[in-house]
Amino acid sequence: MKFLIKIILFVSILQSCNSKEEKTHPIIENISESVYASGIIKSKNQYQVFSTVNGLVQEILVKEGEAVKKGQPIIWITSETSKLTRENAELSANNARLSANLNKLNELKINIEFNESKVKNDSILLLRQKNLWKEKIGTQTELEQKELAYKNTVTNYQVSILRYDDLKKQLNFAEKQSQNNLKISDAIFQDHTIKSEINGILYRVLKEKGEMVNTQSVLATIGDANEFEIELQVDEYDIAKIKSSQKVLLNMDSYRGQVFEATIKKINPIMDQRSRAFTIEAEFVTKPKALYPNLTTEANIIIQTKEKALTIPRSYLIDETFVKMENGEKRKVNTGLKDYEKVEILEGLSTADIITKPQK
């Protein structure tokens, strides 16, 4: 009797469990395969502002949220070292000007004129001595002395010209070199004025007046005022499926319950080693009225879509290959497109079949 009661209880429990099994049947509907991606909204042409010099923030010339024009000064960096370097370069340039060294050239020019007149004088004396020697007046030694004096004077004259030309070349070189050094110092000094590279909005300033900055410091963020784009991160497992112009469906915490459309514009071809993800850029097709840089978003990139497909819930699949029939039979099926909720059945089921959700 007790044994019979146990059997009845077991059958009752089994029937109770079976009655709780969820069942469904395949249906005909549209299905899309998509790839999940997360990312942020960026202002078009958005970039981070860096300083090319070290120094202190002397003045912030534009407030956050204000419009800026290309070439407009936004931050002024001061450095005593750069200032003194420029002043020294200016002093050197002024000192090296050719006009400041005319006295040196004039001194050599006077020497040239003196040697030129001496050449003429010694030439006359030599000619006179030769004429006297023809008339047997004077001595051979006197003639030779006059010839030697003339040659020395000619040499001195030529040397004085060479010295003049050499000094002029040196002064010209020094002047050009010092002017170039001044231009370099001016360029470095001008780098202390940080300017906007685009027409846009100064979205953020990361430094305060009096704060130290270096070439690695991010000073500010600037971007387009009205145009925005989407930067998405796609896992390396899915990157081979992504192609340009694919449709993207977006949702944002700032606009809960709303879906916006975009298209893939660019696939950056290098993977980030840390996140093992690729950066994808997309542009809006439909967008909200107001957008701000760095808003977060989640997206589904539509890989392919199929109409009138035979589908079942993905939770009814067993090992991605089998389903459990109403009679308990385990049947193999061939699957096609998949999304997060459903899967296409290519072979193995029809709309007349009833399948059971597998117990976890």
Mean pLDDT on 197-226: 90
Confidence of residue 265 (pLDDT cuts 50, 70, 90): very high
Same-domain check for residues 64 and 118: no
Residue 34 · residue 339 · CB < 8 Å:
yes
Same-domain check for residues 117 and 150: yes
Predicted confidence (pLDDT) at residue 74 exceeds the cutoff of 80: yes
Is residue 56 included in any domain, yes or no? yes
Same-domain check for residues 211 and 255: no
Predicted confidence (pLDDT) at residue 17 exceeds the cutoff of 50: no
Is residue 337 included in any domain, yes or no? no
Predicted confidence (pLDDT) at residue 15 exceeds the cutoff of 80: no
SS3 of 7-65: HHHHHHHHHHHHHCCCEECCEEEEEEEEEEEEEEEEECCCEEEECCCCEEEEEECCCCC
Last residue of a domain, one of 190, 207, 242: 190
Average pLDDT of every residue of the chain: 86
Measured in whole angstroms, the distance separating CA 330 from the mean position of its chain's CA atoms is: 56
Is residue 355 included in any domain, yes or no? no
Last residue of a domain, one of 259, 281, 302: 302
Question: Distance between CA atoms of 24 and 22, rounded to whole angstroms?
Answer: 7
Same-domain check for residues 94 and 57: no
Q: What are phi and psi of 68, to 5 degrees?
A: -130, 155
Same-domain check for residues 170 and 144: yes
Q: How far is CA 291 from CA 226, 227, 250, in A?
A: 8, 9, 13
Confidence of residue 222 (pLDDT cuts 50, 70, 90): very high
Is residue 289 included in any domain, yes or no? yes
Q: How far is CA 238 from CA 148, 219, 303, in A?
A: 96, 36, 10
Mean pLDDT on 260-276: 93
Given this model, what pLDDT does residue 186 score? 67
Same-domain check for residues 202 and 154: no
Measured in whole angstroms, the distance separating CA 184 from the mean position of its chain's CA atoms is: 25
Same-domain check for residues 186 and 94: yes
Question: Distance between CA atoms of 330 and 182, rounded to whole angstroms?
Answer: 86
Predicted confidence (pLDDT) at residue 188 exceeds the cutoff of 80: no
Q: What are phi and psi of 244, to 5 degrees?
A: -60, 145
Residue 60 sits in a domain of what CATH number?
Answer: 2.40.50.100
Per DSSP bridges, beta strands 355-356 and 296-313 are unpaired
Is residue 313 included in any domain, yes or no? no
Given this model, what pLDDT does residue 261 score? 95
Same-domain check for residues 186 and 91: yes
Question: At 43, which amino acid appears?
Answer: S
Is residue 257 included in any domain, yes or no? yes
Same-domain check for residues 180 and 260: no
Range of the domain at 63: 47-75+195-221
Global pTM value: 0.56
Is residue 280 included in any domain, yes or no? yes
| Total number of domains in the chain | 3
Given this model, what pLDDT does residue 170 score? 87
Same-domain check for residues 64 and 200: yes
Given this model, what pLDDT does residue 86 score? 67
Given this model, what pLDDT does residue 52 score? 83
Confidence of residue 4 (pLDDT cuts 50, 70, 90): very low
Given this model, what pLDDT does residue 13 score? 43
Given this model, what pLDDT does residue 189 score? 63
Predicted confidence (pLDDT) at residue 187 exceeds the cutoff of 80: no
Instruction: Give residue-wise pLDDT tens across range 31-69.
Output: 888 899 999 999 989 999 998 888 888 889 999 989 999
Last residue of a domain, one of 302, 323, 345: 302
Same-domain check for residues 110 and 141: yes
3-state secondary structure of 312: strand
Predicted confidence (pLDDT) at residue 12 exceeds the cutoff of 70: no
Residue 269 sits in a domain of what CATH number?
Answer: 2.40.30.170
Is residue 128 included in any domain, yes or no? yes
Segment among 77-91, 235-249, 291-305 with least mean pLDDT: 77-91
Question: Distance between CA atoms of 98 and 195, rounded to whole angstroms?
Answer: 36
Same-domain check for residues 65 and 212: yes
